[in-house]
Amino acid sequence: MAAEERGEDAAGYAERPSPVLPGAVVWTKAADPSGGGSAVLPDGCMDLLWTEGRLFVAGPDTRAYAPGAPAPGRYVGLRFAPGTAPALLGVPAHELRDRRVDLADLWSGAEVRRLTARVDAAADPAAALELLAHERADRAPAPDPLLTRVVARLNAGHGVAETAAAVGLGARQLHRRALPAFGYGPKTLARVLRLQRALALARGGLGQAETAAVAGFADQAHLARDVKELTGMPLGVLLRVDG
């Protein structure tokens, strides 16, 4: 989903850019237990999430995640830019790939209980979660700026070999650096970022052939295959579900 600020939609979802965590997005959603949760599509990101009484982490996805019927209540999340969450969380991204993990499995249980109670008691849980992450980020190592360049180049449609050369790494070196930062290798990250470019174009009304060309697919059939493999749905069905 786009990172620009927008109002709450019909499903009770809203998001805004974080002013204190570069590249991060703060989002909120009111859960509707009467229906299944919407599929979460791969985007190269990791999220720190809160719902009353629980802090947990969503790792980087390689395929659509179907959450099932959520418990009633409000959910708040921080979606971190690709490659920026592992330093803050203190765990390599590939250990969380395609997983949802309680924060107490990563940090001390006593600390997580204290932090959970703090967010639970806040008048604005979204602001409290954002402050919690900001405080943690101040004590954590800074994300590797080289990997920020990798994300920018891959998201601009450059190939993996070309990107590796541009940042001064061999292909194997880049793969080794990518796993702990993104959760998977640069080829998978490039596919996921290209998927998100295509979805943004298609949601904006561009036809599928034009979307394929602009997003960097070989052709419309290539777009259709990638969308189905990464999301489990054809593009047309996915756009109707979004709508």
Residues 153 and 134 occupy one common structural domain: no
Which of 240, 230, 238 has its CA nearest to residue 44? 230
Of 23-32, 48-57, 214-223, give the lowest mean pLDDT range.
23-32
**Within-domain flag for 80:** yes
- The count of domains in the chain is 2
Of 108, 139, 170, which marks where a domain is finished?
A: 139
Same domain, yes or no, for 93 and 118? yes
Residues 36 and 117 in one domain: yes
Q: Are residues 40 and 68 in the same domain?
A: yes
Instruction: Express each pLDDT in 114-172 by its tens digit.
Output: 999 999 999 999 999 999 999 999 999 988 999 999 999 999 999 999 999 999 999 99
Report the distance separating Cα 202 and Cα 32, nearest Å: 27
pLDDT, tens digit, for every residue of 82-102? 999 999 999 999 999 999 999
Position 6 confidence tier, pLDDT thresholds 50, 70, 90: very low
Determine the Cα–Cα distance for residues 201 and 217; give it in Å rounded to an integer.
13
CATH (domain of 49): 2.60.120
Check residue 33 and give its pLDDT.
64
**Whether residue 117 sits in one domain with residue 88:** yes
Boundary-marking domain end, from 111, 139, 167: 139
**CATH number, domain at 196?**
1.10.10.60
C-alpha–C-alpha distance, residues 82 and 192, integer Å: 11
Domain end call among 139, 162, 182: 139
Asked whether residue 70 falls in the same domain as residue 55, the answer is yes
Q: Both 54 and 149 in a single domain?
A: no
Quick check: 55 pLDDT over 80? yes
Angle between helix 220-231 and helix 208-215 axes, rounded to 10 deg: 80
Question: What residues make up the domain containing 230?
Answer: 145-242
- Within 8 A by CB and 6+ apart from 148, the residues are 83
Q: Is-contact 82 149, C-beta < 8 A?
A: no
pLDDT of 196 reads: 96
Examine the domain organization and report whether 118 and 72 are in the same domain: yes
Does the pLDDT of residue 10 top 50, yes or no? no
Q: Which of 30, 6, 29, 3 is nearest to 17 (CA)?
A: 3
Within a domain: 182 = yes
Q: Which secondary structure element, helix H or strand E, spans residue 101, and what is its range?
A: strand 100-102
Same domain, 105 and 55: yes
Answer whether 57's CB lies under 8 Å from 147's CB. no
What one-character-per-residue DSSP string does 26-69 give?
A: EEEEEE-TTSPPPPBPP-S-EEEEEETTEEEEE---SS-B---S
Q: Are 187 and 160 in contact (CB under 8 A)?
A: yes
- Residues 22, 131 within the same domain: yes
Average pLDDT over the chain reads 91
The verdict on residue 177 lying in a domain is: yes
Establish if 181 belongs to a structural domain: yes
Residues 32, 47: Cα–Cα separation, whole Å: 20
Q: CA 118 to CA 135: how far, in whole Å?
A: 13
